[in-house]
């Protein structure tokens, strides 16, 4: 079998398929739907990752776009499939790429497309007890107001042993947790498996984006997950900028890189705080909270906003920072950094803390690869995947840093990855401190276009598909955030655990509900 190392190899393998080059290193093929499995099986065998699946429906076409990407330098492959408008059925990709599972369940709810041979559809975005099935909210003729129904709903019992029961946790639980329902299946002592029921917070961001200008959709993207506003926002800007062919000035790219790493450090401080809080190590939690709050203030002093809202703009940045302010920020961050190292050292010597986070929430490297997990969660399970190095954007190509990888896949490995990523982010900050001068925003042409954009947000790869009309309004916006994929990791990490470990596992996984629900 010939290797499928690059997009060219794929095109050479199936030369009879209609294909188009969308951009350098981005190619599209249009196979008949019964060929999807054969193509996907070959891609999977040669290490291609499934980025996301984008469904689109217009008045005269319904199609599915499967976006695959190879590791370092292999580009992107889009596989476009027409969906039969009569049957609204299409083969499921889940048997080949298990990571397609959640994407297909979402599309089934939003577009009323049925995936044949999918193991489990239904009760995903729209909960079965509140909505009739087949709403198809994202279809052009979807109703603007949808009446709720109150129907009985019974969670799916997998455990059939005598005395087995489901303990519901949520959707409102704990101190200030995000709303989500967790169904813990147990026979009394340990929890055998846990199933999350998400989308309580579904705000329909993709629907709200339709018809809005590219500038206003950025506001929605930033507020999808406020904790990684810049990481996700940058991915969206990348999508719009490649769709319209905007030339982003070097100064904006350097400053975006600077701010993205500042956000990553601040985000990881918050994640570390939550892990310490979940183990009731109050002093450490407070120390981490001080670090996070100081970083929030440093961010606000530089940009005016604690969470970097309104800093990005399509084509560049919303406002410029003078060299003095940037230098002040860097000094402040470098005064904070030694305390991360000190904290890590102290945590690694605290036996009672290690007892709580070692060997819990295990995600093996095989599982992490099979489910194609993303971000720090995957990197703690031996997956060396980071879009900053594999598909560089901004100034990451010239930046000196390494991608920290740990192999144990437990809570402690995930904590170590967070600490090590902070160190690497600090190296990147030093590298881009001297941003070149020049313009801050590129010119925005009034042309239609569509493209996929990506960025490595603090929680992992953030993918955005934008299809833009000539008046710069969005015809279709699709957002595949890292947490959406990573909730697979929750299923894996919560097999056979003790009740009291539940909050700790949840904290070490660092999953965002808001980002998943969108």
Partner 1 sequence: MSWFLLGIRSGIRTERYAANAPAPAGATPGFPHETRFETTDDAAGNQARCPTGAIHAQGDVATVNRDRCIHCMRCASCDGSAAMEWKVDYNWAHGTDGVDTLPAAFHGSLHVRVIDAGDCGACLNEIAHLSDPFYNAHRHGIFITPTPRHADVLLVVGPVTQQMRAELATAYEAMPEPKRVVAIGACAVSGGIFGPSVMCAAGASSVVPVDIFVPGCPPPPLAIVHALLGVCESKPLER
Residues 6+ apart with CB under 8 A from 314: 214, 215, 218, 237, 240, 241, 246, 444
User: Which residues have C-beta within 8 Å of that of residue 28, sequence separation ≥ 6?
Assistant: 19, 20, 21, 22, 77, 78, 79, 80
Report if residue 139 touches partner 1, rule: CB under 8 A. Answer: no
Binding-site size for partner 1 (CB under 8 A) equals 68
Whichever of 309 and 401 has its CB closer to partner 1, that residue is 309
The 8 Å CB, 24+ separation contacts for 111-115 are: 111/55, 111/57, 111/62, 111/136, 111/138, 111/139, 112/88, 112/136, 112/139, 113/55, 113/62, 113/64, 113/83, 113/88, 113/89, 114/88, 114/89, 114/90, 115/89, 115/90, 115/91
- Work out whether the CA dihedral 370, 373, 377, 378 comes out positive or negative: positive
Q: Determine the distance from the C-alpha atom of residue 135 to the mean position of all C-alpha atoms in its chain, rounded to a whole number.
A: 25
Question: Does 377 participate in binding partner 1 (rule CB under 8 A)?
Answer: no
Give ∠ CA 79-28-231 in degrees, rounded to 5: 80
* Region near partner 1 per CB under 8 A, out of 65-73, 137-145, 182-190, 249-257: 137-145
Name the burial class of residue 93, with classes exposed (0-12), middle (13-18) and buried (19+) by CB atoms within 10 angstroms of its CB.
buried
By rule CB under 8 A, what string of x and - marks binding of each residue 162-181 to partner 1?
---------xxxxxxxxx--
**Shortest separation between residue 455's beta carbon and partner 1, angstroms:** 17
**In the block, which residue shows the tokens 């902070």?**
422
- For 73, list phi and psi in degrees, rounded to 5: 75, 15
Please check whether residue 367 is in contact with residue 503, taking contact to mean a CB–CB distance below 8 angstroms: no
- Our CB check for partner 1 shows the closer of 62 and 311 to be 311
Q: How far is the CB of 476 from partner 1 (least distance, A)?
A: 16
Q: Which residues contact 293 (CB under 8 A, 6 or more apart)?
A: none
Of 80 and 284, nearer to partner 1 (C-beta) is 284
Q: What are the beta bridge partners of residue 462?
A: 455
Q: Which is nearer to partner 1, 97 or 131 (CB)?
A: 131
Cβ at position 239, least distance to partner 1 in Å: 19
Distance (Å, whole) CA 181 – CA 201: 11
346-365: contacts with partner 1 (CB under 8 A): 346, 350
Using CB under 8 A, which residues numbered 316 to 345 contact partner 1? 318-319, 342
How far is 448 from 478, CA to CA, in rounded Å? Answer: 17
> Which residue's CB is nearer to partner 1, number 86 or number 150?
150
Q: How far apart are the first and last CA of the chain?
A: 41
Query: According to the binding rule CB under 8 A, does residue 141 interact with partner 1?
Result: no
Q: Is 425 in the site for partner 1 (CB under 8 A)?
A: no
By CB under 8 A, name the one of 41, 148, 335, 447 that touches partner 1. Answer: 148
- Residue 297 pairs with which residues in a beta bridge? none
Of 72 and 132, nearer to partner 1 (C-beta) is 132
> Least distance to partner 1 from the beta carbon of 435, Å?
17
Nearest distance, CB of residue 203 and partner 1, angstroms: 5
Q: Find the binding residues for partner 1 in span 12-51 (CB under 8 A).
A: none
Structure tokens at 58: 């217009």
Which is it for strands 316-317 and 312-313: parallel, antiparallel or unpaired?
A: antiparallel
Do the strands 76-82 and 26-30 form a parallel or antiparallel pair, or are they unpaired? parallel
Asked if 220 touches partner 1 (CB under 8 A), the answer is yes
Is 229 among the residues that bind partner 1 (CB under 8 A)? yes
| Span of 29-37, 98-106, 394-402, 510-518 interacting with partner 1 by CB under 8 A | 510-518
Position 226 contacts partner 1 (CB under 8 A): yes
Q: Which residue from 224, 244, 255, 373 is in contact with partner 1, where contact means CB under 8 A?
A: 224
**Least Cβ distance, residue 267 to partner 1 (angstroms):** 10
- The reply on whether position 2 binds partner 1 by CB under 8 A is no
Structure tokens at 65: 């776009």
Q: Which residues in the 276-315 window bind partner 1 by CB under 8 A?
A: 281, 283-284, 286-287, 289-290, 292-293, 296-301, 304-307, 309-311
Instruction: Give the pair of three-digit tokens for residue 394.
Output: 């901004």
Residue numbers at the binding site for partner 1 (CB under 8 A): 127, 130, 137, 144-146, 148, 171-179, 199-205, 207-208, 215-216, 219-220, 223-227, 229, 270, 281, 283-284, 286-287, 289-290, 292-293, 296-301, 304-307, 309-311, 318-319, 342, 346, 350, 512-515, 517
């Amino acid at each position: 079998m010939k290797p499928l190392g690059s997009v060219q190899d794929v095109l050479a393998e199936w030369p009879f398929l209609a294909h188009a080059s969308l951009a350098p290193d981005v190619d599209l093929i249009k196979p008949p739907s019964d060929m999807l499995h054969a193509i996907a099986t070959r891609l999977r065998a040669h290490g291609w990752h499934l980025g996301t699946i984008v469904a689109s429906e217009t008045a005269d076409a319904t199609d599915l776009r499967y976006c695959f990407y190879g590791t370092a330098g292999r580009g992107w492959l889009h596989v476009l499939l027409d969906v039969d408008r009569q049957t609204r059925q299409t083969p499921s990709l889940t048997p080949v790429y298990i990571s397609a599972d959640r994407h297909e369940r979402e599309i089934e709810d939003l577009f009323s497309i049925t995936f044949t041979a999918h193991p489990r559809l239904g009760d995903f975005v729209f909960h079965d007890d509140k909505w009739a099935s087949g709403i198809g909210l994202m279809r052009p003729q979807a109703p603007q107001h949808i009446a709720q129904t109150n129907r009985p709903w019974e969670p799916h019992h997998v455990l059939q042993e005598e005395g087995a029961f489901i303990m519901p946790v949520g959707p409102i639980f704990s101190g200030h947790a995000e709303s989500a329902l967790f169904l813990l299946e147990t026979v009394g002592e340990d929890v055998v498996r846990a199933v999350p029921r998400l989308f309580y917070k579904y705000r329909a961001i993709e629907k709200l984006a339709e018809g809005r200008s590219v500038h206003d959709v950025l506001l929605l993207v930033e507020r999808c997950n406020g904790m990684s506003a810049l990481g996700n926002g940058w991915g969206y800007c990348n999508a719009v900028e490649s769709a319209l062919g905007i030339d982003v000035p070097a100064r904006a790219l350097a400053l975006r890189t600077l701010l993205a790493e500042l956000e990553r450090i601040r985000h990881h401080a918050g994640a570390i705080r939550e892990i310490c809080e979940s183990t009731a190590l109050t002093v450490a939690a407070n120390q981490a909270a001080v670090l996070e709050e100081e970083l929030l203030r440093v961010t606000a002093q530089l940009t005016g906003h604690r969470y970097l809202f309104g800093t990005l703009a399509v084509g560049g940045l919303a406002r410029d920072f003078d060299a003095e302010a940037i230098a002040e920020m860097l000094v402040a961050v470098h005064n904070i950094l030694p305390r991360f190292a000190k904290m890590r050292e102290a945590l690694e010597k605290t036996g009672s803390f290690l007892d709580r986070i070692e060997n819990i929430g295990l995600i093996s490297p095989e599982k992490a690869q099979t489910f194609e997990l993303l971000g720090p969660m995957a990197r703690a399970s031996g997956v060396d995947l980071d879009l900053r190095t594999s598909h560089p954007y901004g100034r990451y190509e010239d930046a000196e840093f390494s991608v920290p990888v740990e192999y144990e896949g437990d809570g402690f490995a995930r904590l170590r990855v967070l600490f090590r990523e902070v160190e690497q982010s600090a190296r990147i900050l030093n590298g881009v401190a001297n941003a070149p001068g020049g313009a801050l925003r590129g010119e925005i042409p009034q042309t239609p276009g569509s493209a996929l954009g990506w960025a490595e947000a603090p929680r992992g790869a953030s993918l955005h598909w934008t299809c833009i009309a000539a008046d710069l309004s969005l015809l279709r916006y699709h957002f595949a955030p890292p947490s959406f994929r990573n909730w697979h990791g929750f299923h894996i990490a919560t097999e056979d655990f003790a009740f009291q470990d539940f909050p700790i596992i949840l904290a070490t996984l660092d999953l965002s509900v808001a980002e998943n629900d969108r």
